[in-house]
Structure 1
Amino acid sequence: MNRGIVISDLHLFSVRSVGEQRLASIRDDLAAADVIVLNGDTFDFRWSHFRDEEKTVKAALDWLRRFAAAYPQATIHFICGNHDCLDPFTKGLDDLAAACPTLSWHETHLQLGSHLFVHGDCAHRKMDAAGLGRFREVFKRERPRAAWLSQGYRVVDRLGITWAAHRAHFRPRGTLKRLTWHLDRAVPTWKEATAHCYFGHTHLAFRDRLHEGISFHNTGCAIAGARFAPVHFEIED
């Protein structure tokens, strides 16, 4: 068996992120893993504290290079989320993956044995594959927002407004209905191959929620005040 761990929504480079601290807390788990899945929004280009697209892209690629070097025993899969699907960044990912044999990247989803990984922005509203493409189009051309907006976002978090909005919009039952609706159309054979589906995006962690015969797991996020919930899994050799 290959041992894996999946994490999502680190939102690195955002002032809201405590991603580096959360990663430090699971360093031993990462070092023991044969497979590491970074399941979207690892980086946050919209809310980057660099305020410069080129600097943020370089910092993200450098971070991934160091991450792969820190865990050389693991195969690392990077899945894009809406906040890190920026066009200049994904172009850089091609070159990085070519130079780093343990790293690969995936635009929308990844199937490993009976485990399906998808960021989860496809459940933001009801959308098929084309709809997801349209949803991400603005993020692919994103520019960093002003510093005062980022600080305002953090204040809204502290007041609990962000989390109330997330809980209202991403109720588990409705979210899973939208997620399966998307997958049924974007990946028509997914149910035949999948026992467990892992996603993030909603920032609301849960484990083993059964829906249409599939166990769903949400890995939370590394935003201050939220639950960061990596999930371990095993893949047959």
Structure 2
Amino acid sequence: MARGLVISDLHLFSMRSIGERHLHDLRETLLSADVIVLNGDTFDFRWSHHPDEETSIDAALEWLRNFVAAHPRADVHFVVGNHDCLAAFTARLDELVISLPRFHWHETILRLGGNIFVHGDCAHCPMDADGLDRYRSIWKHDRPRHSLLARVYVLSDRLGLTWLAHRSHFTRQKTLSRLAWYLDHALPNWRKDTHHCYFGHTHLPLRNIEWKGVRFHNTGSAIAGSPFAPAEFCITSTTPIETRAPGEVPDCGSHQ
């Protein structure tokens, strides 16, 4: 039975991110995974430290090539988030699919066995699939922000203001109900064969929180000062299993 690792919200290229440090700490777990899911906002084009959009896109594509090459055992699934749904970037992802057989990308939803993965920006406010398209239409043509504004953002993080805003906006009940409502409309009958739903975006970790028969998990973020909470999972379409943090490997074999 295949074992996977899901990570979200690395926000690479942003001066707020310590994603590369977290990936270094996870290197042994990543190397042993059969499947790696990068579940949205892997890159942050709005707050990129690169000088222009083209340079950021080239750097992101090169990063993905190197990441896939560095993990020869794993199929790598790239789920798009709002910070990396830039149209000029996603238009080039098919190039990687052709050149890298173990690379796959998904615009909104990924299903693997009894697991479903969404970035989680569908929980920003009540929305269905069309609503998510409208929400992302702004991000798809977003422009990089000035470095001075990025420094203000870093200061907000250090003062705890960003964390406070996330906790206020993304209450647990509101977040889970919006996620479920989005999936009910975007993918009818999704609950039938789904045991676990993994998401990011809120930067507020959750683990094994049951909501109407499905266990929800949020994998935190790699923003400095935020909890980073990647999760290991098993790909199975039968009995639900407990999701664990890296190092506490789920017992996939007992549920074959």
- Please indicate the TM-score interval, normalised by the length of the shorter structure: over 0.9
- TM-score, length of structure 2 as denominator length: 0.92
2:91 match: secondary structure: helix
**Residue 11 of structure 1 aligns to which amino acid in structure 2?**
H
- TM-score, length of structure 1 as denominator length: 0.99
Aligned to 2:51: 51
Report if the CA contact (8 A) 1:80-1:119 is conserved. Answer: yes
Quick one: distance in 2 between partners of 1:87 and 1:153? 24
In the comparison of the two structures, how many residue pairs are matched? 237
Aligned to 2:162: 162
1:111 match: secondary structure: strand
Runs of 4+ in 1 over 6 A off after TM superposition: none
Report if the CA contact (8 A) 1:51-1:144 is conserved. Answer: no
Report if the CA contact (8 A) 1:14-1:44 is conserved. Answer: yes
- CA distances 1:183-227 after superposition (whole Å, capped 9, x unpaired): 100111211120000000000001000101100000000000011
**Following TM superposition, by how much is the alpha carbon of 1:97 offset from its aligned partner in structure 2, in angstroms?**
1.1
**Following TM superposition, by how much is the alpha carbon of 1:51 offset from its aligned partner in structure 2, in angstroms?**
3.4
How is 1:117-196 mapped onto 2 (pairs within 5 angstroms)?
117-196=117-196
Aligned to 1:223: 223
How is 1:6-25 mapped onto 2 (pairs within 5 angstroms)?
6-25=6-25
Structure 1 gap ranges (5+): none
Report if the CA contact (8 A) 1:51-1:145 is conserved. Answer: no
RMSD: 0.8
Report if the CA contact (8 A) 1:52-1:144 is conserved. Answer: yes
Provide the identity percentage: 59
Quick one: distance in 1 between partners of 2:116 and 2:11? 22
Quick one: distance in 1 between partners of 2:231 and 2:109? 17
Structure 2 gap ranges (5+): 237-255
Quick one: distance in 2 between partners of 1:139 and 1:51? 19
**Following TM superposition, by how much is the alpha carbon of 1:89 offset from its aligned partner in structure 2, in angstroms?**
0.6
Report if the CA contact (8 A) 1:51-1:146 is conserved. Answer: no
1:21 match: secondary structure: helix
1:202 match: secondary structure: coil
**Following TM superposition, by how much is the alpha carbon of 1:142 offset from its aligned partner in structure 2, in angstroms?**
1.1
**Residue 14 of structure 1 aligns to which amino acid in structure 2?**
S
1:144 match: secondary structure: coil
How is 1:108-119 mapped onto 2 (pairs within 5 angstroms)?
108-119=108-119
Quick one: distance in 2 between partners of 1:133 and 1:67? 28
